[in-house]
């Protein structure tokens, strides 16, 4: 890997990602200002995650919107690999999905891939990933999805529903396709090799076409799904991609649920949030106050600032003030961190209450096998 290089696959993200290069590498389309305006016009709202390029790339978004304007509905689908507790970065595509569901008034499927994380992580038993699937479902439900229009798929629980669809897909993907896409070797277990067909299955669970909001690292699976779709008489899934959320320790790589220190979980106490951010959040500030006042900080590499931009400060005016003050040296790193800590803890206070309530409602959301 050379200095300006990076790796983005569903199971491995490394280096500092150049998103324009990634768009070329993956063959996706950048979300243009025209598409942004179109979404704004249809939904009546200028979502900050679009405006700020948190969602930056897509496949076939315009087809979905063309059809929608002709009165043809679509449905939404996204998912989570339950390898641990939910961290705040995971909520980004889910919050955006919730917004899409409200604006377009469409159905939504959420897949929890307990099998995938069992196959891909050596330290996790199937019981572990099942347990985390349940825990992660609570975070998803806590965001306020409507149970009449939203179903949660847990792979080992819903295999009866998924399998006939997965079989259609699996027959059209051969080993050299997956090998080329994911870098599999002869040592890769069979579960991993088959897995893309299971992640593809929810795309074809309805007769409508599907729009998938997702982290860009998941794109390779759906590249394969899109190749398969016409071969089994289905529409290609449309995708809208978000950037990877940086780990607390700094740019390069995503926030990994398995790396304790670099991660803020939705289950963390206010004190844990404070400690983690103060101790680990990568700072774009100067080494001492005197220098900081004189030279100012660099918000573009400062993780606390990035979290505000990506998630916790939707108001542009406030965000810009923080940006300018930090850059000029008026705002110190400790003060910037304090702003973020307060925002996260306020969010988590509400979220954790809703998460508790979700425990009584989980059954309403789980997909029943037919
Ligand atoms: N493989 C994803 C992960 O590890 C989970 C997932 C399943 C998913 N289906 C999806 C993610 C659809 C995005 C869209 O997190």
Are residues 306 and 246 in contact, defined by beta-carbon separation less than 8 angstroms? yes
Domain with 193, as residue range(s), is 7-248
211 within a domain of the structure (yes/no):
yes
Nearest to 194 by CA among 219, 215, 153, 224: 224
pLDDT score recorded for residue 12: 86
User: Within this chain, do residues 176 and 201 fall inside the same structural domain, yes or no?
Assistant: yes
Average pLDDT for 26-32: 97
Same domain as 301, residue 219? no
Do 197 and 338 lie in one domain? The reply is no
Closest atom of ligand 1 to CA, residue 90: 15
Residues 156 and 18 in one domain: yes
pLDDT at 259: 58
Q: How confident is the model at residue 113 (pLDDT cuts 50, 70, 90)?
A: very high
Mean pLDDT, the chain, rounded, equals 95
Of 256 and 276, the structure prediction assigns the larger pLDDT to: 276
Partnered with residue 246 across adjacent β-strands are 254
Pair 181, 291 in one domain: no
Evaluate whether residue 197 is within a structural domain: yes
Given this model, what pLDDT does residue 365 score? Answer: 98
Q: Tell me, yes or no, whether 199 lies in a domain.
A: yes
Mark which of 194, 225, 248 sits at the end of a domain: 248
Q: Do 278 and 227 share a structural domain? A: no
Q: Are residues 303 and 216 in the same domain?
A: no
pLDDT tens digits along 165-196? 999 999 999 999 999 999 999 999 999 999 99
Helices (H) and strands (E) in the chain, counts: 17, 11
Q: What is the number of structural domains in the chain?
A: 2
Instruction: Please report whether residue 2 resides in a domain.
Output: no
Regarding whether 265 and 142 lie in a shared domain, the answer is: no
pLDDT score for 253: 46
Query: Tens digit of pLDDT for each residue in 140-158?
Result: 999 999 999 999 999 999 9
Which atom in ligand 1 lies closest to the alpha carbon of residue 11? 4
Residue that has been written with the tokens 């909520």 in this structure = 91
CB 278 within 8 A of CB 265: no
197 Cβ inside 6 Å of ligand 1? no
| pLDDT above 60: residue 34 | yes
* Ligand 1 pocket, residue 86 CB under 6 Å: no
CATH number at residue 141: 3.40.50.620
Point out the ligand 1 atom lying closest to the alpha carbon of residue 215.
13
Cβ proximity of 235 and 229 under 8 Å: yes
């Amino acid at each position: 890997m050379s200095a300006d290089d990076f790796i983005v696959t569903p199971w491995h993200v490394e280096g500092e990602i150049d998103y324009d290069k990634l768009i070329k590498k993956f063959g996706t389309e950048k979300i243009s200002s025209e598409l942004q305006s179109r979404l704004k016009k249809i939904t009546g709202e200028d979502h900050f995650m679009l405006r700020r390029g948190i969602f930056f790339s897509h496949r076939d978004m315009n087809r979905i919107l063309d059809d929608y304007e002709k009165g043809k509905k679509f449905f939404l689908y996204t998912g989570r690999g339950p390898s641990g507790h939910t961290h705040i970065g995971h909520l980004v595509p889910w919050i955006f999905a919730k917004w899409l569901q409200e604006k377009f008034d469409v159905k939504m499927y959420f897949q929890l891939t307990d099998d995938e994380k069992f196959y891909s992580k050596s330290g996790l038993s199937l019981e572990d990933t099942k347990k985390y699937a349940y825990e992660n479902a609570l975070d998803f439900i806590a965001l306020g999805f409507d149970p009449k229009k939203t179903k949660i798929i847990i792979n080992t629980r819903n295999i009866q529903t998924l399998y006939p669809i997965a079989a259609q897909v699996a027959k059209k993907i051969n080993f050299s396709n997956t090998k080329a896409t994911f870098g599999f070797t002869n040592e890769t277990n069979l579960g991993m090799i088959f897995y893309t067909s299971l992640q593809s299955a929810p795309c074809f669970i309805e007769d409508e076409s599907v729009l998938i909001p997702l982290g860009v690292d998941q794109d390779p699976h759906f590249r394969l799904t899109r190749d398969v779709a016409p071969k089994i008489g289905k529409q290609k899934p449309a995708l809208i991609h978000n950037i990877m959320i940086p780990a607390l320790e700094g740019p390069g790589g995503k926030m990994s649920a398995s790396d304790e220190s670099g991660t803020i979980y939705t289950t963390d106490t206010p004190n844990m949030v404070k400690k983690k951010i103060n101790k680990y959040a990568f700072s774009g500030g100067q080494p001492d106050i005197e220098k900081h006042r004189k030279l100012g900080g660099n918000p573009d590499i400062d993780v606390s600032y990035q979290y505000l931009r990506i998630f916790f400060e939707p108001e542009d005016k406030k965000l810009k003030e923080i940006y300018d003050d930090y850059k000029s040296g008026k705002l110190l790193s400790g003060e910037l961190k304090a702003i973020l800590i307060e925002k996260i803890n306020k969010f988590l206070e509400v979220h954790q209450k809703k998460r508790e309530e979700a425990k009584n409602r989980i059954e309403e959301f789980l997909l029943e096998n037919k």
